[in-house]
Amino acid sequence: DQQVKQNSPSLSVQEGRISILNCDYTNSMFDYFLWYKKYPAEGPTFLISISSIKDKNEDGRFTVFLNKSAKHLSLHIVPSQPGDSAVYFCAAKWLTGANSKLTFGKGITLSVRP
């Protein structure tokens, strides 16, 4: 039973355009969400996060939107750059749970074409 779903395995966009990466979750106990970027042969790198008390968080070119009623979040990258090409993981956690474990989706491979 996958509690965090990234249904599109890959996305290809033109440099300078917007990249929109989607993520859905099923567990209503999740109250904190994170996006990680992963290059080959490296560990995941933290990008941006959002608490369930917000519906938007922005950091430079990266914005995450949260729609709690739809149990959906999305990561927007504007403008996209070739260096953004990587695998992006959506992760969720329950802040008041016994531990701070992260539940990950399967990831989306983003390719930004020059």
Q: Which stretch binds another protein (CB under 8 A): 11-19, 65-73, 77-85, 92-100?
A: 92-100
- Decide if residue 101 touches another protein (CB under 8 A): yes
Q: How far is the CB of 79 from another protein (least distance, A)?
A: 25
- Decide if residue 104 touches another protein (CB under 8 A): yes
- In the shown chain, the binding pattern of residues 9 to 38 toward another protein, with x for contact by CB under 8 A and - for none, equals -----------------------x-x-x--
Pairwise CA distance, residues 14 & 85, whole Å:
11
Q: Which of 19, 21, 35, 44 binds another protein (CB under 8 A)?
A: 44
Residue with smaller CB distance to another protein, 18 or 95:
95
**Lookup: tokens for 105:** 């989706």
Q: Which amino acid is at 76?
A: H
45: number of Cβ within 10 Å: 11
**Lookup: tokens for 74:** 């999305």
Burial category of 88 from C-beta neighbours within 10 Å (exposed 0-12, middle 13-18, buried 19 and up)? buried
Instruction: Single out the residue of 36, 7, 28, 9 nearest to residue 102, CA to CA.
Output: 36
List of residues contacting another protein (CB under 8 A): 4, 6, 32, 34, 36, 41-46, 49, 51, 89, 91, 93, 95, 98-107
